[in-house]
Amino acid sequence: MRSPSCSFTTRAGARHERGRACVPRAQCGLLELEIWPYAADDLVALCRGSIEAIGLGATFKMKGAVASAFDKAPPLPSDESQATVVSWLLQALRDCLPDSKVIAAGHRVVHGGRLFDRAIVIDDATMAALADLIALAPAHQPHNLGAIHAVAAAWPGLPQVACFDTAFHFGQPRLARMFGLPRSLSEQGIVRYGFHGLSYEYIASCMSDAAGIGPDQRVVVAHLGHGASLCAIRDGRSVATTMGFTTMDGLVMGKRCGMLDPGVVLYLMREKRLSVAEVDKLLNERSGLFGVSGISDDVRDLEASSDPNAAEALDLFAYRAAREVGSLAAALGGLDALVFTAGIGEHSASMRARICRLSAWAGLVLDDDANAAHRTRISVPGSRVGAFVIPTNEEIVIARAMRTLAL
């Protein structure tokens, strides 16, 4: 094993004497902080760590090549605020990897609005612009910016890079981004932005090598996790996607409702007398798989359940995903490949089978044995539409941007 040197991200960078980079990823909206140390010279991941349940009795875990170095990390602070946890993490890097020098930090930032079409080095003007976007992603953006502030406070002068979940979709055709609203509202930024862009950027960069999918092929990528969306990709670019102005749109998700007639919102407020906050909580935290099943927001729990409501929730998830495959195929002018990724997409053979069978109209023929074995190609030879499973890696996208911009 090479001697350690590192840089880090919060989805951040550190450097050892041999130029290693260490990338932490912050998912503080999930009360979780992940750290991914990478070698700055070749971006090989050294280990992966997480701080879970921040504010609720946080626990720290680390695994991988240099994980044992963190056995001597001091106890987590009793004050489990985002700032103190990030400060603790940076001090742990100093203490546990004493030969390392942190040289940059990279962050996943959910919303880049209409300003940011690529990763950027963060400065005061950037932070002010991103703060203006909090209203577009109130459940995510404050935590993303909080991590940046925490790193700046704990390590003044450290270069920081922001990578945006919206940036990959920035170049979509204008019609794909528009709502049927008055033009004045579109000009104020009420348009379809799309999300999960770091995941889609990674899949677009590797699907030729991983699955033999050519750049000219018409591909729908299904990022299926607790948050879920689909993206139509051709020539390495986003053509259309299911998420829109917010992360609530599109597919049924773990606890989010997905696509919804806006009249339902008006009805809930007018007839059921729900407040804005109550509607927000209903649509973001009490709907989706959790709301339909009444059991769980986790596909694994629902697949193990004999409750018919669990089965119906899974059927709805698959139906909505397959229906949107058809929508995105129309945007592409056809369909050559369907790629599954993220937690559910990578690990649930049952859900993949449901969606593939509902997509048989396109000429997709599932190979049941390959699917059960979680192989890369899960469609039969000769299937007109190929089906594939490619694990995503949003962290490496951030690490690459960090190396390009800040190292």
Q: Which residues belong to the active site?
A: 165
CA separation, residue 118 to residues 133, 206, 230, 239, 397 (Å) = 16, 19, 20, 17, 11
Compute the distance between CA of residue 218 and CA of residue 333 in angstroms, rounded to an integer. 8
Compute the distance between CA of residue 335 and CA of residue 325 in angstroms, rounded to an integer. 9
- What are the contacts of 25-28 at 24+ separation with CB within 8 A? 25/108, 25/394, 25/395, 25/398, 26/82, 26/86, 26/107, 26/108, 26/143, 26/144, 26/147, 27/108, 27/143, 28/54, 28/82, 28/143, 28/144, 28/146, 28/147
Compute the distance between CA of residue 55 and CA of residue 78 in angstroms, rounded to an integer. 9
**How much is the CA Rg of the chain, to the nearest whole Å?**
21
Looking at residue 8, the DSSP 8-state letter turns out to be E
Asked if residues 351 and 316 have their Cβ atoms less than 8 Å apart, the reply is no
Compute the distance between CA of residue 193 and CA of residue 246 in angstroms, rounded to an integer. 7
Dmax (CA) for the chain in angstroms is: 65
Asked if residues 108 and 25 have their Cβ atoms less than 8 Å apart, the reply is yes
Compute the distance between CA of residue 351 and CA of residue 313 in angstroms, rounded to an integer. 11
CA separation, residue 235 to residues 124, 153, 217, 393 (Å) = 35, 41, 7, 20
Which residues contact residue 34 at a Cβ distance below 8 angstroms, ignoring those fewer than 6 apart? 11, 24, 25, 26, 27, 48, 49, 50, 51, 395
Helix H or strand E encompassing 293: helix 288-293
Q: Which residue has the tokens 């990022």?
A: 223
Compute the distance between CA of residue 368 and CA of residue 358 in angstroms, rounded to an integer. 14
